[in-house]
Structure 1
Amino acid sequence: MPAVLAAAWALLAAAFLAALLVLRRQQAPARRPGGGISGLFQDLLRYGKTKSGRGQRPAWLRRLQVPKRWFTHFYVVSVLWNGFLLIWLFRAEFLGGSLPSWIQHCLTCTNIFPSAHEHFSALLVLLLLWLHSCRRLAECLWTSVFSNGVIHIVQYCFGLGYYIAVGSTVLCQVPTDVRNGKELSVQICWYHIVGVTMYIWASLHQHRCLVILANLRKSKSGKVISLSHSIPFGDWFETVSCPHYFAELLIYVSMAITLGFHSVMWWCVVMCVLFNQALAAVLSHEFYQKNFSSYPKHRKAFIPFVF
C-alpha cells in the first residue's frame, strides 16, 4: 500500500505539472470556447470565477457541474475520516492499543523512520492535518462568501477522495510496532518545533487572506452586499494574486519538516500540492489581469517574486 500511494501521488503530481505546462503554452483556443477536446480540458481545470467569460458551454458540460460552495463537503469528510484515524493512532501511541485489523490489512507494514522515537511525528502530522481541516471547514461555513460559481463533478469527486488519501498517507508513516499495539515513549525533536511553527505561521496568513477575500463582499457591519469579484489588497496579496494557495503549499511543507524531512512519500504529496495550487493560481491570476485593467503589474501568481 505505501508503494502504491507513493506512486499514485507522484503520477498525480506529474499530471498536474503536465496540465500546467499545457495551459501555459496554450494560445487562443482553436475552437469555440467550451467545445471539443480543448473545451473539456479547460472545463476540467477551471472552477469558480475562472470558468466565467469563456462563452456558452455545451449543455452536456453544464450537467457535469456542482456548486463551488460544495467545497465544504471536502472538509466535512476530512474532519470525520482523519479524526477517526487520529483517535485510533492516539490509542496505539499512548494506550497500547492497536490499529483496527482492516487498516493494518490495507497498510503494508514498513518502518519508515530510522529511529524508534520518531513515531510521534506521524501522530503530530495527523493532528495538524485534522486541525487544518477543522479550520477550513469553519472558514467555509462562517467566513467565506461563495458566489454562484461551479466546479466540475470530477474535481468534486477528487476533492472528496483527496483528504482520505492524505490521511492514509500519514498513517503509512507509522512504524510497525506502533500499529501492532506496542506503546512507545514520546520524544520531541527540533524539526517538530520548526514544522509546527511554520504550520502556525502559514495557517495564520492563509486565514487572514481568506478574511480579506470575504470582506470584499461584505459591508463594515459584516452583511453580504455583493457576490462580484474585486481586487484584494493587504497581507500577502501585496505580492501574489493567490497567497492562500501559497500558504496551503507552506502548510504541507511544514508537515514534511515535521516528519523529519526524509519521507519520500510525503514529498510526493507536497509536489502534488505544489503543481495543483500553481495551476489554480495561474488561472486566477489570468482572471484578475483580464478583468481589471488597474491590476497591480508587480504581483506574481503564486510564489512571491518568483512565479
Structure 2
Amino acid sequence: MILSLWVDKALEATAMDAVDALRAFFLLSAITTITISIPTSLHSRFLVYGPRATSTPAQSKGLLDYLATWQVPHSYFTHFYIASLLSSVFWAAQIACKGAAFRAIATRVSEEHQRSSMSLTQVVICCALLFLQGSRRLWECISFSKPSSSRMWFVHWALGLGFYLAAGVAIWIEGSRALLLNDFSIAHFQMTNAPSLRTFALVPLFLVASGLQHDSHHYLSSLKKYTLPEHPMFRGVVCPHYGAECIIYLSLALVAAPRGEWINKTMLACFVFVAVNLGLTARNTKQWYAQKFGNDSVRDWWFMVPYVY
C-alpha cells in the first residue's frame, strides 16, 4: 500500500521507529525554538508575534529581514485547533476500524516500545481528553476572537500545525500493541469499574486546569484594550493560561503512562515542546508588560506557574 511505503521510507530515512520519530520531532522542535530565541537578531524577527511584535522594516535589508516578511494573520491560530479536532476524529475512526492509516503507523512501532503498552481504556480516556481540549480551544478561538492586524511568522504557523497533528498520533501510539491485538467493545466505553488512583487524581487535574485556562481566556477577551490584567488568576503571574496548558499536557502524559511506567515518554516529549514554546512566549509577554506599564509593575511576577517558573 502506498501509505505504508511512505511511512516506511520516512522512518527508514531517520533510522527510527514511529515512537522515536514522534519523540524526536517534539524535542528537536523545542531545541530549535530555544536556539532561535538566543540571538536577538533571530528572536525579535521570528519568535515575537501578536501585539508584542515589532513592525517589520518596510524595505528588507537582508535575508533575515526577508524571511521575517513571510507572515500569516495571527487569527490563523484557529487552524491549530481545527487540525487538532479533525486529527482526533480521524484517528478515533481509524483505531475503531483498524484502518490503513492506523496500521501503517502502529505496525511500525518497534518491539522494544511494544513491551509495555497502554490499555484500551487508557487510550479511550486519553483520546477523549485530547478531543475535549481541542474542541474547547477551537470554541474559544471562535467565540473570543477580535478583529486584529497582528501577524506571526509563517514557520511558527506551520510548526503549530505539525505539533497538533503529531499530538493526535502521540496520544495513542504507546498503546499500539493493545490496539493491534484487541478489538474494541462497548465495555471499553463503560466506566463501570472504579478508576485507578492515577486516573482518579489526574483526570480532575486536567479538568481543573482546563477550567482555569478557559476563565483566563474569557477574562483576556473581555478587556477593552491591552491593560495590565487584574483578575485574581493573574495576580503575580504573567501568563497563568500558559501554566494551565502545561498542566493539561503533563496530566495527559501521566494518565497515558503504559503499564509498568510512571509516565508516557512520547507525551512527555510533547509536554516539553509545549513548556518551552509557552515559556519563551511568557518571557516575551513579561518584557512587553515591563516596557508598556513600567518595570516595577511586573518585577516580581512569575512567568506561568507561581513558585515554579
Does 231-240 or 64-73 show the bigger shift?
Answer: 231-240
Distance 1:110 1:183 in 2: 23
TM-score when scaled to structure 1? 0.80
Distance 1:205 1:118 in 2: 29
2:243 pairs with 242, 246, 257, which one?
A: 246
- Trace 1:116-265 onto structure 2 (pairs within 5 A): 118-145=119-146, 147-183=148-184, 186=188, 188-217=195-224, 228-260=225-257, 261-265=262-266
Q: Does the aligned pair in 1 maintain the 2:253–2:268 contact within 8 Å?
A: yes
What code does the residue aligned with 2:209 have?
A: A
1:106 is aligned to 105
Distance 1:116 1:153 in 2: 37
| Structure with the higher fraction of residues in helix conformation | 2
1:32 is aligned to none
Percent identical pairs in the alignment equals 24
Distance 1:287 1:54 in 2: 17
Q: CA separation of 1:161/1:146 partners in 2, compared to 1, >3 Å: closer, same or farther?
A: farther
Q: Residue 57 of structure 1: CA displacement?
A: 7.2
Structure 1 residue 16 corresponds to structure 2 residue 33: yes
What code does the residue aligned with 2:242 have?
A: Y
Q: Residue 285 of structure 1: CA displacement?
A: 0.8
Q: Could you give the per-residue CA deviations for residues 168-197 of structure 1, whole angstroms, max 9, x where no partner exists?
A: 111212232423553476463221122211
Q: CA separation of 1:183/1:134 partners in 2, compared to 1, >3 Å: closer, same or farther?
A: closer
Distance 1:114 1:4 in 2: 18
Q: Residue 78 of structure 1: CA displacement?
A: 1.2
Q: Does the aligned pair in 2 maintain the 1:194–1:257 contact within 8 Å?
A: no
Q: Secondary structure at the match of 2:119?
A: helix
What code does the residue aligned with 2:78 have?
A: T
TM-score when scaled to structure 2? 0.80
Structure 1: runs of 5+ lacking an equivalent: 30-37, 92-97, 218-227
2:76 is aligned to 70
Distance 1:207 1:146 in 2: 20
Distance 1:242 1:63 in 2: 27
Q: Could you give the per-residue CA deviations for residues 30-82 of structure 1, whole angstroms, max 9, x where no partner exists?
A: xxxxxxxx1x4422211101213687673735641111011111111111121
What code does the residue aligned with 2:286 have?
A: H
1:305 is aligned to 307
1:85 pairs with 77, 91, 96, which one?
A: 91
Does 165-174 or 45-54 show the bigger shift?
Answer: 45-54
Distance 1:255 1:301 in 2: 22
Q: Could you give the per-residue CA deviations for residues 93-129 of structure 1, whole angstroms, max 9, x where no partner exists?
A: xxxxx42123211232457577777232122111111
Q: Does the aligned pair in 2 maintain the 1:209–1:235 contact within 8 Å?
A: no
Name the Cα RMSD after superposition: 2.5
What code does the residue aligned with 2:249 have?
A: Y
What code does the residue aligned with 1:81 have?
A: S
1:50 pairs with 49, 52, 55, which one?
A: 52
